[in-house]
Amino acid sequence: MKKFLEKHIDLLKKIPLFEGIKSDELEEMLECLGVVDKTYPKDSIIFSVGSEVTSIGIMLKGSAHIIKEDIEGNRNIVAELLPGDLFGEVFACTRLHKSNVTVTTTSSCEVLFIKFKSVTGICSSTCVFHNRLVENMLQLIAEKNILLHNKIELLSRKTTREKLLMYFSKQIEQTGSHQFTIPFSRNEMADFLCVDRSSMSRELGKMRDEGLLSFNKNKFEIFYFKK
């Protein structure tokens, strides 16, 4: 555990689940929680639709996509996971513990797993950090619901242009800049927005010709919202 902490201490201190927990308490806390550290090569499935999910995943290294497919096989990228991001907590806290999405790595990854019951259950050692963990977990689940609402709002837009503009407005809001780099390829971006890739590319070309934006691969500058 000491070697693990030495390797990841800087990231662990920034993770919202561990907010308010002192650095010198982290080792005791992780041992009490019985965490498991796993590595995955690129293009691995961490868990899939129908999998039993009883643990919270924390991305320590690499990246992954949360993917939802409909009955016809149409793919929607729900979210991208980067170092420090949590996943699986929503399924782990339900009665069925069943996933309705697939989590697939987009690079080699290292993931820390924590049993959900270890976070919310009564600790026999009465560790002082458990109450704080529960508070943090409730806040994270509430924030995840807000993100889900934002995604539903985006998908409710009727046209490809409306979806693109809303997505770009969220990127500006998150980065604080009209220039930003998105984490998706064109195919992945189309999957995220639930639009046809060719139609999206044509719309981006039209918006560029109209002076609304410029782009080079996944780097964008948006002029539309400066008006």
Q: Which CATH number fits domain 160-226: 1.10.287.80, 3.40.50.800, 1.10.10.10, 3.30.930.10?
A: 1.10.10.10
Residue 68 and residue 138: Cα distance in Å, rounded?
A: 24
Q: Is the pLDDT at 45 greater than 90, yes or no?
A: yes
Q: Is the pLDDT at 126 greater than 80, yes or no?
A: no
pLDDT at 11: 92
Query: What band does 3 get if pLDDT is binned at 50, 70 and 90?
Result: confident
Q: Same CATH fold, 160-226 and 2-155?
A: no
CB 108 within 8 A of CB 42: yes
Residue 67 and residue 80: Cα distance in Å, rounded?
A: 9
For 2-155, CATH gives: 2.60.120.10
Sequence ranges of the domains in the chain: 2-155, 160-226
Residue 179 and residue 220: Cα distance in Å, rounded?
A: 6
In this predicted model, what pLDDT tens digit does every residue of 54-94 receive, in sequence order? 999 999 999 999 999 888 888 899 999 999 999 999 999 88
CB 14 within 8 A of CB 39: no
Mean pLDDT of 186-201: 94
Query: What band does 124 get if pLDDT is binned at 50, 70 and 90?
Result: low
Residue that the structure tokens 């010198």 belong to: 24
pLDDT at 64: 97
- Which residues does residue 222 pair with via DSSP β-bridges, in sequence order? 213
Q: Is the pLDDT at 31 greater than 90, yes or no?
A: no
Strand spans (E) along the chain: 36-40, 45-47, 55-61, 64-69, 75-81, 86-87, 102-105, 109-115, 179-181, 213-216, 219-222
